[in-house]
């Protein structure tokens, strides 16, 4: 493992335990396609580096923002990360994809910065709070037959209906999209970041676990909560009419 995660003066110790991901076991689809890009980056190709920045900067800012107290600090964290990436490129062994490695560095820079700022809520405690809410139901319990029922406790009282016949188009309406954007924005920060990476950036779950340093099981809990929240908002809107 030594040298795999080159991250600006700090090494991440190998992690063990069934719920955690071993970086060496991850089948990372980015590895091969990174080779030519990595070669150009190492030989100081500034256009290639600019492309890298354009691709990842906004998302890095968003992830950093979940770690630190202000947008100014988040910008600093992203800048410091790019400097560390430039410094670390020659030592990067390419055993993870480039973007996974970059987000590992980002997380370490953000965490160090977070520790320095007393008023900052650390990412780990944000996550603990959100995971503490795991017992919150995905669907309003009132929609199910109560446990006291002898025949069908826990089965639907008011089942969801199929979204069909014009709903596809309605999902594309401005009103629906505004509601969806609002319900994503209202999500707790870690849920929102997981949903974003999986749903919009199209990251694999293993990659999200590595970048945010969360277990596979916790990643699923966070994704499930986020999905369920947005589904609930959409259902409420679509059933209204």
Partner 1 sequence: MVPADMKCQEFVELVTDYMEDSLPAATRADFKAHILECDGCGAHLDQMRQTMQAIGDLAVTCHIRAWFAIK
| Dihedral (CA of 31, 33, 39, 42) sign | negative
Under rule CB under 8 A, residue 40 binds partner 1: no
* Distance separating the N- and C-terminal Cα atoms of the chain: 57
Under rule CB under 8 A, residue 163 binds partner 1: yes
Under rule CB under 8 A, residue 53 binds partner 1: no
The 3-class secondary structure across the chain, one letter per residue, is CCCCCCCCCCCCCCCCCCCCCCHHHCCCCHHHHHHHHHHHHHCCCHHHHHHHHHHHHHHHHHHHHHHCCCHHHHHHHHHHHHHHHHHHCCCCCCCCCHHHHHHHHHHHHHHHHHHHCCCCCCHHHHHHHHHHHHHCCCCCHHHECCCCCCCCCCCECCCCCCCCCCHHHHCCCHHHHHHHHHHHHCCCHHHHHHHHHHHHCCCCHHHHHHHHCCCHHHHHHHHHHHHHHHHHHHHHHHHHC
Nearer to partner 1, 51 or 227 (CB): 227
Nearer to partner 1, 105 or 223 (CB): 223
Nearer to partner 1, 40 or 57 (CB): 57
Total site size for partner 1, rule CB under 8 A: 45
Under rule CB under 8 A, residue 65 binds partner 1: yes
Q: How far is the CB of 13 from partner 1 (least distance, A)?
A: 26
DSSP reduced 3-state for 152 = coil
Out of 39, 70, 154, 186, which residue is the one contacting partner 1 (CB under 8 A)? 154
Q: How far is the CB of 87 from partner 1 (least distance, A)?
A: 25
Out of 35, 70, 152, 186, which residue is the one contacting partner 1 (CB under 8 A)? 152
Nearer to partner 1, 62 or 112 (CB): 62
**Displacement of CA 11 from its chain's centroid (Å):** 22
Contacts with partner 1 in 195-224 (CB under 8 A)?
Answer: 195-196, 199-200, 205, 216, 220, 223-224
Under rule CB under 8 A, residue 70 binds partner 1: no
Contacts with partner 1 in 124-143 (CB under 8 A)?
Answer: 137-139, 141
- Kindly report the number of other CB atoms within 10 A of residue 125's CB atom: 11
User: Per-residue x/- marks for partner 1, 74-113, CB under 8 A?
Assistant: ----------------------------------------
Q: Which residues bind partner 1 (CB under 8 A)?
A: 57-59, 61-62, 65, 137-139, 141, 144, 152-156, 159-163, 167, 171-172, 176-177, 180-181, 184-185, 195-196, 199-200, 205, 216, 220, 223-224, 227-228, 230-231, 234-235
């Amino acid at each position: 493992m030594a040298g795999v995660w080159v991250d600006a003066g700090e090494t991440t110790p190998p992690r063990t335990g069934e719920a955690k991901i071993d970086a060496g076991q991850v089948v990372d689809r980015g590895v091969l396609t990174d080779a030519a890009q990595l070669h150009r980056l190492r030989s100081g190709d500034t256009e290639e580096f600019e492309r890298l920045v354009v691709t990842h900067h906004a998302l890095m800012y968003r992830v950093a923002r979940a770690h630190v107290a202000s947008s100014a600090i988040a910008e600093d964290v992203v800048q410091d990360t790019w400097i560390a990436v430039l410094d670390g490129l020659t030592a990067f062994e390419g055993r993870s994809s480039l973007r996974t490695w970059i987000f590992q560095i980002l997380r370490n820079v953000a965490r160090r910065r977070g520790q320095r700022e007393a008023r900052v809520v650390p990412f780990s405690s944000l996550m603990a709070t959100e995971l503490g809410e795991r017992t919150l139901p995905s669907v309003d319990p009132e929609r199910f037959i109560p446990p006291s029922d002898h025949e069908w406790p826990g089965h639907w009282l008011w089942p969801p209906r199929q979204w069909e016949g014009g709903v596809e188009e309605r999902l594309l309406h401005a009103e629906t999209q505004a509601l969806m954007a609002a319900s994503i924005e209202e999500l707790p920060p870690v849920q929102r970041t997981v949903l974003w990476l999986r749903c919009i950036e199209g990251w694999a779950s293993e990659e999200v676990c590595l970048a945010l340093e969360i277990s596979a099981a916790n990643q699923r809990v966070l994704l499930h909560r986020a999905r369920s929240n947005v589904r609930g908002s959409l259902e409420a809107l679509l059933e209204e009419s």
